């Protein structure tokens, strides 16, 4: 009786079929990532621009320190690329500490948006 070495025809066909299915799944997932990548690249590029804009605003804020009026600072940043005056708010809040002292704080909330993403910064007086 001879010992046979190697694979049978059925084993080879099964291996080729499994390899073809795995290749089809891999290529279909790879194709989706290539077709959706421009949208993701645009989002990342827009996010980078908004972060640069927020850094510009923060730089203006630091140059203006100490700030007497957040309204003056607010008017200096209106008109920048992602800044909309309707999305820039000045808030004042008061609270009483444990000693009974009333503390009043004014801050400016700046919201940058490109329609899909939002970035917020808070600046105090």
Q: Can you tell me the distance from the alpha carbon of 117 to that of 50, in angstroms, rounded to the nearest whole number?
A: 9
Q: How far does the chain reach from its first CA to its final CA, in angstroms? A: 95
The answer to whether residues 125 and 65 touch, using CB atoms and an 8 Å cutoff, is: no
Average pLDDT, the chain: 82
Please state whether 13 falls in left (phi above 0), alpha (psi between -120 and 50) or beta: alpha
Q: Read off the pTM.
A: 0.58
Q: Can you tell me the distance from the alpha carbon of 86 to that of 113, in angstroms, rounded to the nearest whole number?
A: 11
The answer to whether residues 55 and 77 touch, using CB atoms and an 8 Å cutoff, is: no
Query: Which pLDDT does position 109 carry in this prediction?
Result: 85
Query: Which pLDDT does position 14 carry in this prediction?
Result: 94
Q: Where does the pLDDT of residue 2 fall: very low under 50, low under 70, confident under 90, or very high at 90 and above?
A: low
């Amino acid at each position: 009786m001879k010992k046979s070495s190697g694979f049978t025809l059925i084993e080879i066909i099964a291996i080729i079929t499994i390899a073809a299915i795995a290749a089809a799944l891999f290529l279909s997932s790879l194709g989706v990532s290539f077709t959706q990548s421009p949208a993701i690249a645009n989002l990342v590029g827009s996010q980078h621009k908004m972060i640069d804009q927020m850094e510009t605003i923060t730089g203006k804020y630091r140059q203006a320190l100490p700030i007497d009026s957040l309204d003056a600072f607010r008017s200096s940043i209106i008109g920048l690329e992602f800044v909309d005056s309707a999305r820039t708010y000045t808030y004042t809040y008061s609270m009483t500490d444990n000693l009974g002292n009333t503390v009043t704080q004014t801050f400016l909330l700046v919201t940058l948006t490109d329609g899909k993403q939002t970035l917020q910064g808070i600046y105090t007086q």
